[in-house]
Amino acid sequence: MLYLGPELKNWRSKIVWALFLLGLGAAATLFANTPIFRMPTPASDPGSQVTFNRDIAPIIFRSCSTCHHPGEAGPFPLLTYSDVRKHARQIADVTEARTMPPWLPEPQELKFADDLHLPVSQIDLIQRWVEQGAVEGNAADLPPQPKFAEGWRLGAPDLILKAEKPFILPADGSDSYWNFIFRVPIEQTRWVKAIEIHPGDKRYVHHANILVDRGAMSRKREAEPGAGFGGMEIRIESQTFDPDSHLLFWKPGTVPYLEPDGMALRLDKGTDLILNTHMQPSGKPEVIQPTIGIYFTAQPATKFPMLLQLENDLKLDIPAGQKDFVVTDKFTLPVDVDLLAVYPHAHYLGRDLQAAAILPDGTQETLIHIPRWNLNWQAVYRYAQPVILPKGTTVGLRYVYDNSDDNALNPNHPPVRVRAGNRSSDEMCHLWLQVLPVNTDARQGDPRMLLQEALARHNIEKNPSDFEAHYNLAAMLQARSKIEEARREYEFALRIRPEDAAANNAMGSVLLASGQPGDAITYLMRALKARPDYFDARYNLGNALASQDDFAGASEQFRLALEVQPNDADVEANLGSALAEMGHFSQAKIHFERALQINPNHVLAKENLEELERATSK
């Protein structure tokens, strides 16, 4: 027999990453585009006259006007004396209470890039100004009003995408969480340097996150194409080792920023971007239709950051009425990293959120401390300078939850037992760390795999019945050709979720790769029972049957695979091989040619076609 059989090396497995809230970095230096205002230098004499023009305007222009100008999130402008005068006492109150400017972290040694924290001296100055009657002062003292760019802050984007259908935010009721799907119309892989998010009416959108959906998994959740779908927290499965790496976040006042040198987000044909938005009703119905502007770069990424998630949702089982419920997690880094940004996340019971790093020499650094958490002002916090965390550093979180009636934001009145979950009335205990592995040894392979493997092992330690941790660990081991260990982890995963389509398919692929097609078939059939349109499982089943010389069965599976995904060169080539094995040469030729139409460089199809021509010309 001259024909090459189906190429077993083409087996595919899907890796499910427990992914959530990921995207390309934003936030950045809030005032990068605005002039530096001189800071007030009032007389230290507390009795001296404070004036708007000399003392207050510089504070307002620097710390308030960015959001408080027309078209931005602030509900009223703060650009002139009369604007500020109309809210003077309110400004004194909210700055003293540190409600405004919205900045949750305490001051700390490690500085953040866009720190909005007002110094006490400025808060005191505003108090004195209001107490003294909010005097305007000498016109000559007034600094120039800040100028704000209109439209796209980064200039005209290379690609502008508008949500296909708007979301109508109801006038009343609780907060809304809506996801808009942007189908990115690109024909080949492009690298993204920045994405500017225009979330619709900024006054009502509290924050928005972009998630990268490489497998168009979220479309299934839309009632009709383009409609978007509800949900506060969403998960997206990924097909390949493509760990999320960037935090693409918008909150009021965010100025979009360009990724640093060497970093970029890869977008492939068929990738969807999901904009996850949190909105608050305004009292009247609002039409929310976001737009995003994408800026490409010709330079592919050379640096690959990764998002590490510390979490301990399993421990979130908070008795009704408990005031100080503490949850912790800690993880020791297996490689040197630069920490670029952090993103703490809890819901309405979260009160005090802290994260710290203990370096190998024992020194402790506070990474972030939010003593009075407020979900409405959650944000990604980017460090002014990368934080060097050597291998062996332990990063940890400590979150305190208040499930008593004293917590006014408690969604339940009276309080009830609360556990982890995706609804806003459930809780969460998450901390994302954006890290860039450094000082890596190329012989060790992709350092992100080492991080992912260590994280999966850590998660299994915390929760031996964590399906995703077993699955991800197995996938890491499989990628590093540790087939036996991978198989063991998939077995654990399948004990937890026996019917899971992805785990059954992955197990099938491991068995197939280790020369056990008979066993593989059982798992692959189970994967297809759970998900009949599972392309990869069809393909793998076709290969498994072909390995057992069941070419009729194999060609049936390949045909079914093509119904799910019509333009796949591998499937066409393998279908051709199976048909050739059965002696259906003319049909086989059609499929080899089709494979070559899809991919003119498809080696198997080319070789088999030549072989077929030789055989039939005899």
Partner 1 sequence: MWRTGSAFWGSLSQVVIVLIVGMVAAEFVLAQNHAFDLDGKAVDPFDAASGKIVVLVFLRRDCPVSSRYAPVIRRISAQHERDASFWLVFPDKTETPQTIRQYLRDYSYYLPALRDPEHVLVRLGQVQITPEVAVFNRKHELVYDGRVDNWYVELGRSRAAATTHELEDAIQAAADAKTPAMKQVRGVGCYISDLN
Q: Which range, of 99-107, 120-128, 247-255, 268-276, touches partner 1 by CB under 8 A?
A: 99-107
* Residue span binding partner 1 (CB under 8 A) among the ranges 166-174, 315-323, 511-519, 551-559: 166-174
305 and 434 in contact (C-beta within 8 Å)? yes
User: In the complex with partner 1, which residue's Cβ is closer, 56 or 184?
Assistant: 56
Token pair listed for 20: 């959530």
* Phi-psi map region of 112: left, alpha, beta (phi>0 left; psi -120 to 50 alpha): beta
468: left (phi over 0), alpha (psi -120 to 50) or beta: alpha
Q: What does the block give as tokens for 433?
A: 């760390």
**Could you tell me how many residues of this chain bind partner 1 (CB under 8 A)?**
33
If the CB atoms of residues 50 and 544 are measured against partner 1, the closer one turns out to be 50
Other C-beta atoms within 10 Å of 149: how many? 11
Q: Which is nearer to partner 1, 88 or 496 (CB)?
A: 88
Write down the least CB distance from residue 143 to partner 1, Å: 23
Question: Residue 384 and residue 318: Cα distance in Å, rounded?
Answer: 36
Residue 135 CB, nearest approach to partner 1 (Å): 14
Cβ contact 302:262 at 8 Å = yes
Q: Which is nearer to partner 1, 325 or 377 (CB)?
A: 377
Segment near partner 1 (CB under 8 A), from 2-10, 34-42, 275-283, 581-589?
Answer: 275-283
Q: Comparing C-alpha atoms, which of 365, 308, 300, 367 is closest to residue 335?
A: 308
Lookup: tokens for 306:
């990764």
> At closest approach, how far in Å is the CB of 347 from partner 1?
11
| Residue closer to partner 1, measured from CB, 63 or 478 | 63
151, 422 contact by CB (below 8 A): no
Structure token pair of residue 506: 């992955």
421 lies in the site for partner 1, by CB under 8 A:
no
* Span of 11-19, 278-286, 442-450, 483-491 interacting with partner 1 by CB under 8 A: 278-286
Interface with partner 1 includes 603 (CB under 8 A)? no
For residue 20, the minimal CB distance to partner 1 (Å) is 23
**Concatenated DSSP letters for 414-474?**
S---EEB-SSTTSB--EEEEEEEE-S--GGG--HHHHHHHHHHHHHHHH-TT-HHHHHHHH
Handedness of CA 46, 47, 51, 54 (dihedral sign): negative
> Which member of 231, 260, 386, 411 binds partner 1 (CB under 8 A)?
411
Return the number of the residue (174 or 465) whose C-beta is nearest partner 1. 174
How far is it, in rounded angstroms, from Cα 15 to Cα 13? Answer: 6
- The answer to whether 239 and 19 are in contact (CB under 8 A) is no
Q: Are 30 and 251 in contact (CB under 8 A)?
A: no
User: Using an 8 Å Cβ cutoff, are 592 and 608 in contact?
Assistant: yes
Stretch that binds partner 1, among 34-42, 171-179, 431-439, 496-504 (CB under 8 A): 171-179
- Alpha-carbon distance of 94 to 114, in angstroms, equals 20
Nearer to partner 1, 93 or 141 (CB): 93
Q: Classify residue 598 as exposed, middle or buried by CB count within 10 Å of its CB (0-12, 13-18, 19+).
A: middle
- Which of these ranges, 113-121, 153-161, 288-296, 374-382, lies near partner 1 under the rule CB under 8 A? 374-382
State which residue, 130 or 520, has the beta carbon closest to partner 1: 130
Name the residue among 508, 569, 568 with its Cα closest to residue 543. Answer: 508
Using rule CB under 8 A, residue 374 touches partner 1: yes
CA 589 to chain centre: 45
| Segment 172 to 201, residues that bind partner 1, using CB under 8 A | 172, 174
Select from 39, 171, 326, 615 the one that contacts partner 1 (CB under 8 A).
171
Sole binder of partner 1 in the list 52, 129, 249, 348 (CB under 8 A): 348
Minimal distance, residue 88 CB to partner 1, in Å: 5
Interaction between residue 100 and partner 1 (CB under 8 A): yes
The minimum distance between CB 98 and partner 1, in angstroms, equals 10
CA distance 243 to 474: 15
Residue 400 parent element (H or E): strand 394-401
- In angstroms, what is the minimal distance from the CB of 349 to partner 1? 12
Pairwise CA distance, residues 382 & 249, whole Å: 11
Of 260 and 281, the one with the shorter C-beta distance to partner 1 is: 281
Pick the closer one to partner 1 by CB: 354 or 410: 410
Q: Kindly identify the residues of this chain, within the stretch 243-262, that bind partner 1 according to CB under 8 A.
A: none
Binding window for partner 1 (CB under 8 A); candidates: 184-192, 281-289, 363-371, 557-565? 281-289
Interaction pattern, residues 75-94, with partner 1; x per rule: CB under 8 A: xx--------xxxxxx--xx
Exactly one of 9, 38, 220, 284 binds partner 1 (CB under 8 A); which one? Answer: 284
DSSP secondary structure letters along 77-120: --SSHHHHHTTHHHHHHHHHTT-SS---SPP-SS-BTT--PPPH
- Specify the residue, 239 or 280, whose C-beta has the smaller distance to partner 1: 280
Q: Is the CB of residue 546 less than 8 Å from the CB of residue 54?
A: no
Asked if residue 323 binds partner 1 (CB under 8 A), the reply is no
Three-class SS state of 242: coil
Distance of alpha carbon 204 from the chain centroid: 22
132 binds partner 1 (CB under 8 A): no
CA atoms within 13 A on the CB side of 366: 14
β-strand partners of 532: none
Q: How far is the CB of 343 from partner 1 (least distance, A)?
A: 20
Q: Which two tokens stand for residue 34?
A: 């605005």
Select 171 or 216, whichever has its Cβ closest to partner 1: 171
Burial of 414 (0-12, 13-18, 19+ CB in 10 A): exposed
Distance (Å, whole) CA 546 – CA 581: 9
**Whole-angstrom distance, CA of residue 144 vs CA of residue 398:** 44
CB of 294 to partner 1, least distance (A): 32
Residue with smaller CB distance to partner 1, 281 or 421: 281
Rank residues 284 and 618 by Cβ distance to partner 1 and give the closer one.
Answer: 284
What is the distance of C-alpha 463 from the center of its chain? Answer: 23
Contact between 123 and partner 1 (CB under 8 A)?
no
Q: Which residues bind partner 1 (CB under 8 A)?
A: 75-76, 85-90, 93-94, 97, 99-100, 102, 171-172, 174, 203, 280-284, 348, 374, 376-377, 408-411, 413, 425
